[in-house]
Structure 1
């Protein structure tokens, strides 16, 4: 069962049925959805995706999926799940544009990574990011992810595969120049 996580400014908790409108609004915002999965989908597909969180993901305890809240408002989405694309676990996160530019993305990504290492016992965590998504690539680079390979998609676009391993206690992630995410 997906646990509740807290950061300094965010609450990550399982979705509730009343989150559907906020979830759909997040996924219908093309500034967000252009970077997720196969890109923007119709509203009906996003509503079906939301329902699958309950009927499949939570019902079968497949992986962890969170509603991301700040001050009680739904401001994002997060996941950590096993995927064959990276032969391991991948983090997925999205924030509403109103939450951009204030460090919440870093806070969110760090929380999911820490959960993977501390609670799931992972020895590495992956992220896949569309090559043009410089904001996520820079964020992930800043928190210690390293580029390991590229995937050429069927449409000719490039997806970057990144990995992060646990840092040694007292060691900060190395700062590098920048290089996130796909979906349910």
Structure 2
């Protein structure tokens, strides 16, 4: 499996290249972004190691992971991969704060979802989102994701498992952020 380049109206998603290291690390070191990713902020050395593990993912054809560019400039990260946590394929994405509020999150998510349904021929895609991340919960709700279950985290917070099916949805709608 080779990760293809994807294009939306304004974004290009393409496989990472070694020259993306500093931009990747800067994105993952920005606490406004990393607070919502995985277990939260990590030491810089761990983010650098994570960047270089991406190339192992490509070498082994494990899943698709992209650098997200706007006009050629690195602005984010995206993935779609099978995870045990959701028992299916999960979309993961992050954008740099300087491009928040321009509709790029929706465009990026729609691009990954379209790839999952079209190219990968999935019947459903999932997302895990911290309940407190109301911007992402609202965005995914607008894209047709529904809340299917909660994951109680060790720190007392809740992660929502959200699902969008190709044929439609039959679960509880994602609550609107208010």
TM bucket by the smaller chain? Answer: over 0.9
Kindly state the Cα deviation for residue 167 of structure 1 after the two structures are TM-superposed. Answer: 5.0
Kindly state the Cα deviation for residue 178 of structure 1 after the two structures are TM-superposed. Answer: 2.4
**TM-score scaled to structure 1, two decimals?**
0.91
The residue aligned with 2:85 is: 85
Kindly state the Cα deviation for residue 21 of structure 1 after the two structures are TM-superposed. Answer: 0.3
Gaps of 5+ in 1: 169-174, 180-184
Higher relative contact order (CA 8 A, sep 6+): 1
Q: Once the two structures are superposed, what CA deviation does each residue of 1:48-91 show, in whole Å capped at 9, x if it has no partner?
A: 0000001x211101000000000110000000000000100000
Q: Distance in 2 between matches of 1:153 and 1:141?
A: 22
Which ranges of 4 or more aligned residues in structure 1 deviate by more than 3 Å? none
Gaps of 5+ in 2: none
Conserved 8 A contact 1:75-1:99: yes
Q: Distance in 2 between matches of 1:139 and 1:127?
A: 11
Cα RMSD (Å) of the superposition?
A: 1.3
The residue aligned with 1:140 is: 140
The residue aligned with 2:23 is: 22
Kindly state the Cα deviation for residue 176 of structure 1 after the two structures are TM-superposed. Answer: 6.6
Kindly state the Cα deviation for residue 126 of structure 1 after the two structures are TM-superposed. Answer: 0.2
Q: Distance in 1 between matches of 2:166 and 2:141?
A: 14
The residue aligned with 2:104 is: 104
Question: SS of the counterpart of 2:26?
Answer: helix
**1:40-119, aligned counterparts within 5 Å?**
40-54=41-55, 56-119=56-119
Conserved 8 A contact 2:33-2:96: yes
Kindly state the Cα deviation for residue 154 of structure 1 after the two structures are TM-superposed. Answer: 1.6
Q: Distance in 2 between matches of 1:178 and 1:16?
A: 38
Conserved 8 A contact 1:149-1:161: yes
The residue aligned with 1:156 is: 156
